[in-house]
Amino acid sequence: MQQTDILIIGSGIAGLTYAVKMAGQFPNKKITILTKADTNETNTKYAQGGIAVVNDLKHDSFEKHIKDTLIAGDGLCNKKIVEMVVKEGPARVAELINWGAHFDKANDGDFLRGKEGGHSESRILHHKDITGWEVERSLVAVAKKMKNITFIQHCFVVDIITQHHLGYLVNKSTPDIICLGVYVLNHTNNKIEKILASITLFATGGNGQVYRTTTNPAVATGDGVAMVYRAKGRVENMEFIQFHPTALYIAGARGQAFLLTEALRGDGGILRNMHDEAFMEKYDERKDLAPRDIVARAIDHEMKINGTEHVWLDCRHFPEKKFTEHFPNIYQKCLSIGIDMSKQMIPVSPAAHYSCGGIKTDEWGRSSIAHLYACGECSSTGLHGANRLASNSLLEAMVFAHRCFLDSTKLLSRKEGTVKNINEENKETGFIWRQNKTINNKDIPDWNAKGTSHPKEMILITQSLKELQLLMSDYVGIVRNNIRLHRAMRRLDLLWEETENLYHSSTLSPQLLELRNMITVGYLIVKGAGFRKESRGLHYNTDYPEKSKLVQNIVL
Ligand code: FAD
Ligand code: SIN
């Protein structure tokens, strides 16, 4: 058993921002960051377009960014949260710059600001076309300098420890579930161990891997959401999966697809169909810069009516230096597969990109489970509503990491030792510990692996994963209907049953744990989609093509 003061799951922008702040504020506290892969293997590292922020009040305003976010969110954003994130954003970006992140500037020293779909102004700060790489680089560098931060890589978090593990009844109506730490799979000895903490932050990122093609790396399997759901915490709006309109199309490819940033369209890139037609004007007056839900649906429609697997992105008219100065990574990637963007169009198709829903939090990043915060892509804060505005994700992660830090500071300064006096602390944080008991760490049981043995065939896992990704892409993709959702649920039921059998009889592996989590996430997406009897934002159901008058979040 290990003990730490602050436990952070995830080393993307959300986890690292929180870690750096906590480590600075509490030099005597032990802060542990767990990641299931290498530290820098995160969605954050792959971000391209940049960070949306209003830091040029001569040409832009908070009101405009707020309005753009609300329009993209299609009636489901929490306006208070939108205002808060937009207004607190500039201070967080300034901190990031202070920590060493570089954003492109013009010769006069002012930032170069890009434009993306749904933005009424150019406000996206970027580092060429590899903004995420630069953000991750600078945050890892700062965090590694802090003596009280420990990084543990290749350590798979399996489940949240709550009072359920001490024998108390915990269900969805339990008002006072408490996070005491996590069970983790130690790769070095293949054993499940306990790590206990006063405060745990989930910054576990997205779930794009649930689909056949995604812009997300292999780590994005929705583990955090699945764990919170299993621990009887609240998750919401899981049906809003954002498909990025322009991932590089490669025939027959599965898994992570290379992104062609929306900033290319912000700089004049044009989508064309097989007849060379610039089709977006048929769908929206904002043409290629309409919000992503609209562009992705338009591409999906064009592909279906023309019987093709992709459309084209045309950047041939760009001035030469655009390729070398703003988009060098994309330019090189295309060259490496034989496409010269200055002379040829690029084949693109939509791919799963971002989860707008997730672990439900309040404005301080508190989940429904006491002592468990969530921020970044795994959370659902109310910012994105039914569709995220481009480049608002990195901004949200930083603003909420800061808020989690502020609230954690309050929680820690109330009482040393935390879980020991949980009753008093929880009264103030709004969670009442009903049993009025002191939790003794020694009572938390070890993981019970009795009766399990090594799985003989990996095919049982890999084939189920393929089936899951196929069914989610074909039945629960950009366009849905009731029959498809019903079929998806029946197939998920079978996959779930088979995988649970495997889980209870096998020695655990990251592959099996990820499959189990992804089936849970698939179930949550289908369940949310089934409950939402309307079409709104990213959820489009041909059986209910209109928006409902009842504007509601779907909480599971
Ligand atoms: P991540 O950066 O994904 O980090 C997740 C962490 O959790 C990883 O360290 C992982 O190891 C860990 N983890 C997960 N599960 C477990 C487990 N079970 N055990 C242990 N560790 C675990 N957004 C923008 O705002 N602007 C952009 O330009 C932009 N471009 C993008 C381009 C691409 C290709 C992609 C994929 C996304 C882009 N996004 C962009 C979205 C944005 O990058 C992500 O939403 C954001 O980086 C998520 O950060 P995060 O800190 O929440 O999680
Ligand atoms: C992109 O660069 O197109 C991705 C931006 C985002 O997902 O916010």
Number of residues assigned to the chain: 556
Q: Is the pLDDT of residue 455 over 90?
A: no
Q: Which atom of ligand 1 is nearest to the CA of 14?
A: 51
Q: Where are the alpha helices (DSSP H) in 243-291?
A: 263-266
CA nearest 17: which of 94, 79, 82, 78? 94
Q: Residue 59 domain-assigned?
A: no
Residues 6+ apart with CB under 8 A from 388: 72, 73, 242, 292, 354, 356
| pLDDT value at residue 436 | 55
Of 443, 473, 489, the one marking the end of a domain is 443
Of 305, 326, 352, the one marking the end of a domain is 352
Is 292 labeled as catalytic in the residue annotation?
yes
The average confidence (pLDDT) of the chain is 93
What CATH number is given to the structural domain containing 150? 3.50.50.60
Residues 276-280, mean pLDDT to the nearest whole number: 98
pLDDT bin (cut points 50, 70, 90) of residue 146 is very high
| Residues 366 and 276 both lie in one domain | no
What CATH number is given to the structural domain containing 324? 3.90.700.10
| Residues 334 and 392 both lie in one domain | no
| Per-residue model confidence as pLDDT tens digits over 241-265 | 999 999 999 999 999 999 999 999 9
| Per-residue model confidence as pLDDT tens digits over 197-212 | 999 999 999 999 999 9
| Separation between Cα atoms, residue 540 and residue 537, nearest integer Å | 7
pLDDT bin (cut points 50, 70, 90) of residue 374 is very high
CA nearest 185: which of 520, 514, 457? 514
| pLDDT value at residue 429 | 37
The pick from 244, 299, 315, 329 for probing ligand 2's pocket by mutation, whose C-beta has the most ligand atoms within 8 angstroms, reads 244
CA angle 3, 503, 485 (to 5 degrees): 110
CA nearest 280: which of 257, 269, 478? 269
| pLDDT value at residue 415 | 53
| Residues 271 and 329 both lie in one domain | yes
Cβ of residue 477 lying under 6 Å from some atom of ligand 1: no
| Per-residue model confidence as pLDDT tens digits over 398-409 | 999 999 999 999
| Separation between Cα atoms, residue 221 and residue 204, nearest integer Å | 9
Residues 293-306, mean pLDDT to the nearest whole number: 95
Give the chain's domain count. Answer: 3
| Residues 142 and 219 both lie in one domain | yes
| Residues 199 and 158 both lie in one domain | yes
Q: Is the pLDDT of residue 222 over 50?
A: yes
Q: Are 408 and 437 in contact (CB under 8 A)?
A: no
Active-site choice (92, 292, 388, 532): 292
* Domain, as residue range, for 329: 247-352
| pLDDT value at residue 423 | 41
Give me the residues paired with residue 185 across strands.
156, 192
| Residues 336 and 377 both lie in one domain | no
Q: Is the pLDDT of residue 50 over 90?
A: yes
pLDDT bin (cut points 50, 70, 90) of residue 438 is low
| pLDDT value at residue 422 | 43
390 alpha carbon to ligand 2 midpoint, in Å? Answer: 5
CA nearest 351: which of 215, 452, 442? 215
| Residues 256 and 347 both lie in one domain | yes
| Residues 222 and 284 both lie in one domain | no
pTM of the model: 0.95
Residues 434-446, mean pLDDT to the nearest whole number: 70
Which range, of 121-125, 174-178, 421-425, averages the lowest pLDDT?
421-425
Q: Are 170 and 314 in contact (CB under 8 A)?
A: no
| Residues 168 and 19 both lie in one domain | yes
Helices 510-531 and 459-475 pack at an angle, to 10 degrees, of 20
CA nearest 222: which of 388, 405, 469, 483? 469
| Per-residue model confidence as pLDDT tens digits over 73-99 | 999 999 999 999 999 999 999 999 999
| Residues 216 and 195 both lie in one domain | yes
| Residues 287 and 331 both lie in one domain | yes
| pLDDT value at residue 87 | 98
The pick from 33, 394, 395, 512 for probing ligand 1's pocket by mutation, whose C-beta has the most ligand atoms within 8 angstroms, reads 394
DSSP label at residue 438: P
| Residues 42 and 140 both lie in one domain | yes
